[in-house]
């Protein structure tokens, strides 16, 4: 079996060690001969790179491993690029969350004004690594799970329409895992039907391979508990903010009991609740910086100091195995069924063809083929079309350097109460993002 050459773009990410260890755990399914980390922050990546070099020497000595800030070195002769970049790092995420909260609006990484700000930064970074990939490895596939996925996917559709970029999100994977715990199944035993935009959709069916439907059983549980399961609380050491998010799903289901909701809908259906229960001085960004960020880099320093990764503190990110499933689908034409972010083209019959929607797809060596979901009801259609227009306006504002269109995008967002508040937030975000956004006139 061929051994593949892989570059991870965003090598300095706190998720990198867990994903590398997950790939090691799946080497029989997806053999890797070379692995390169790429990042534009040399110092940050070097800490993880040195630690992973020690770990890989012990656990996979035959694997060729390196880390670099040189695009040519990173992207030459690669089969796959796995992209999880964060332009501006957690310092800018903190601003994305705290600036809106100062105006009484939700502060969230991918939703509302924070997601729009992050999207405006991410487009530049994504285009840059796509261009590197195409220059140095024209046959390479990019598996992109960088946030905010909807805005990034729309930008790729408009600005790099022929690029071999696959957009996927781990949120549906995590929610399916919790659903499987509720009904005492394994995730791989289940097939779902789903429609929406990224972080903005609904499950319409959850069946096993024999065709037994579990959606009503799951709804009964979610109506009382949300998606929170005892297994996850006890074994995953879940942060309190995530526990609260999964519990809130019961209120989302109450609004629309026909389908099972994506948890991110809470930011659009209950924004007042989210603001009232937010701490402007300590947001999710601070929770991550005080938690996972410190844990991962402390573990890296310990490995480097000890010279061994035995009992290292790096943990396998087992739920990220969906990345290997996607790579295998492309490499071996496995026709894996996965939720992907793709151009609609009739998958949702009564929704614009050029919308980047999240639906089940069959993935083979030509990429994803979306499965049709039929027509969707008026409530979901109206919510989705409003959010889709926000995302399209953001990409148009980026391309045209248009202050007007970005103001319109913020004004149209269901998370912001008025055009005045939208303008006030926009002006603050422009100041905060002066190093990252294109100039807006």
Distance, CA of 228 to chain centre? 20
Confidence grade of residue 416 (pLDDT, cut at 50, 70, 90): very high
Whether the Cβ atoms of residue 356 and residue 150 lie closer than 8 Å to each other: yes
Rounded Cα distance between 334 and 142, Å, is 18
Confidence grade of residue 235 (pLDDT, cut at 50, 70, 90): low
- Write the DSSP string, 196-264: EETTEEEEEEEEETT--B-HHHHHHHHHHHTT--HHHHHHS---HHHHHHHHTHHHHHHH-TTSEEPGG
Strand ranges across the sheet with 64-68: 64-68, 32-38, 4-9, 80-83, 141-144, 165-167, 336-343, 356-364, 367-370
Where is average pLDDT lowest: 75-89, 169-183, 311-325? 311-325
Nearest to 224 by CA among 246, 199, 240: 246
Which parts are annotated binding residues for Mn(2+)?
169, 199
Is 67 among the residues known to form the active site? no
Which parts are annotated binding residues for substrate?
93, 147, 284
Return the number of other C-beta atoms located less than 10 Å from residue 273's C-beta: 14
| Residue 112 Rama label (left phi>0; alpha psi -120 to 50; beta) | left
> If 0-12 CB within 10 Å is exposed, 13-18 middle and 19+ buried, where does residue 349 land?
exposed
pLDDT at 236 over 70: no
Amino acid 266: pLDDT: 97
Whether the Cβ atoms of residue 299 and residue 20 lie closer than 8 Å to each other: no
pLDDT at 311 over 90: no
End-to-end C-alpha distance for the chain, whole angstroms: 54
pLDDT at 27 over 80: yes
| Catalytic residue (one of 25, 131, 170, 251) | 170
Confidence grade of residue 186 (pLDDT, cut at 50, 70, 90): very high
Q: What radius of gyration, in Å, describes the C-alpha atoms of the chain?
A: 21
Is 436 among the residues known to form the active site? no
- pLDDT per residue over 239-268, tens digit each? 788 888 999 999 999 999 999 999 999 999
Confidence grade of residue 238 (pLDDT, cut at 50, 70, 90): confident
- pLDDT per residue over 32-66, tens digit each? 999 999 999 999 999 999 999 999 999 999 999 99
53/319: higher pLDDT: 53
Rounded Cα distance between 83 and 144, Å, is 5
Confidence grade of residue 140 (pLDDT, cut at 50, 70, 90): very high
**Interval 214-222 mean pLDDT:** 98
The answer, as to whether pTM is greater than 0.85, is yes
Nearest to 110 by CA among 217, 267, 333: 267
Amino acid 231: pLDDT: 81
Whether the Cβ atoms of residue 246 and residue 226 lie closer than 8 Å to each other: yes
Q: Which two tokens stand for residue 293?
A: 């960020």
Inter-CA distances, 376 with 132, 201, 254, Å:
39, 11, 19
Rounded Cα distance between 173 and 360, Å, is 12
Rounded Cα distance between 222 and 138, Å, is 46
pLDDT at 425 over 80: yes
Inter-CA distances, 249 with 16, 180, 245, 331, 384, Å:
29, 16, 7, 36, 18
Amino acid 237: pLDDT: 63
Which parts are annotated binding residues?
93, 147, 169, 199, 284
- pLDDT per residue over 342-368, tens digit each? 999 999 999 999 999 999 999 999 999
pLDDT at 234 over 80: no
pLDDT at 419 over 80: yes
Sign of CA dihedral 309, 312, 318, 320: negative
Confidence grade of residue 233 (pLDDT, cut at 50, 70, 90): confident
Whether the Cβ atoms of residue 42 and residue 71 lie closer than 8 Å to each other: no
pLDDT at 315 over 90: no
- pLDDT per residue over 260-278, tens digit each? 999 999 999 999 999 999 9
| Residue 104 Rama label (left phi>0; alpha psi -120 to 50; beta) | left
- pLDDT per residue over 64-100, tens digit each? 999 999 999 999 999 999 999 999 999 999 999 999 9
Rounded Cα distance between 163 and 139, Å, is 10
Mean pLDDT over the full length of the chain:
96
| Catalytic residue (one of 264, 267, 268, 398) | 264
Return the number of other C-beta atoms located less than 10 Å from residue 440's C-beta: 18
């Amino acid at each position: 079996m061929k051994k593949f050459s892989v570059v991870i773009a965003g090598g300095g990410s706190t998720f990198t060690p867990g994903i590398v260890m997950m790939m090691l755990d799946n080497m029989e399914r997806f053999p890797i001969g070379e692995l390169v980390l790429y990042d534009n922050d040399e110092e940050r990546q070097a800490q993880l790179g040195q630690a992973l070099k020690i770990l890989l020497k012990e656990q996979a000595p035959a694997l060729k491993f390196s880390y670099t800030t040189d695009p040519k070195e990173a992207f030459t002769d690669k089969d796959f690029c796995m992209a999880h970049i964060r332009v501006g790092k957690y310092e800018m995420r903190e601003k994305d969350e705290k600036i809106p909260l100062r105006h009484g609006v939700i502060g969230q990484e991918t939703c509302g004004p924070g997601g729009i700000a992050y999207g405006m930064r991410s487009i530049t970074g994504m285009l840059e690594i796509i261009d590197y990939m195409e220059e140095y490895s024209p046959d390479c596939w990019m598996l992109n799970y960088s946030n905010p996925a909807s805005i990034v996917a729309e930008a790729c559709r408009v600005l790099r329409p022929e690029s071999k970029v696959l957009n996927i999100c781990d949120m549906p994977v995590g929610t399916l895992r919790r659903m499987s715990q509720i009904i005492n199944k394994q995730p791989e035993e289940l097939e779902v039907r789903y429609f929406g935009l990224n972080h903005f959709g609904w499950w319409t069916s959850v069946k096993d391979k024999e065709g037994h439907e579990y959606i009503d059983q799951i709804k009964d549980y979610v109506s009382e508990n949300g998606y929170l399961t005892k297994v996850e609380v006890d074994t995953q050491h879940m942060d309190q903010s995530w526990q609260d998010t999964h519990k809130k799903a019961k209120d989302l289901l109450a609004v629309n009991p026909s389908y099972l909701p994506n948890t991110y809908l809470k930011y659009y259906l209950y924004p007042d609740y989210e603001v009232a229960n937010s701490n402007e001085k300590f947001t999710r960004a601070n929770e991550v910086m005080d938690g996972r960020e410190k844990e991962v880099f402390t573990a890296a320093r310990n490995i480097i100091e000890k010279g061994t990764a035995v009992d290292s503190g790096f943990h396998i990110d087992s739920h990220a195995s969906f990345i290997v499933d996607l790579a295998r689908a492309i490499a071996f034409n496995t026709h894996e069924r996965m939720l992907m972010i793709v151009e609609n083209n009739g998958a949702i019959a009564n929704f614009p063809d050029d919308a980047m929607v999240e639906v089940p797809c069959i993935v083979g060596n030509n990429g994803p083929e979306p499965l049709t979901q039929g027509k969707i009801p008026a409530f979901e259609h109206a919510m989705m079309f409003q959010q889709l227009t926000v995302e399209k306006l953001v990409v148009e504002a980026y391309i045209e350097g248009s202050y007007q269109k970005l103001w319109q995008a913020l004004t149209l967002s269901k998370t912001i109460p008025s055009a005045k508040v939208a303008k006030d937030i926009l002006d603050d975000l422009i100041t905060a993002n002066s190093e990252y956004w294109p100039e807006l006139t």
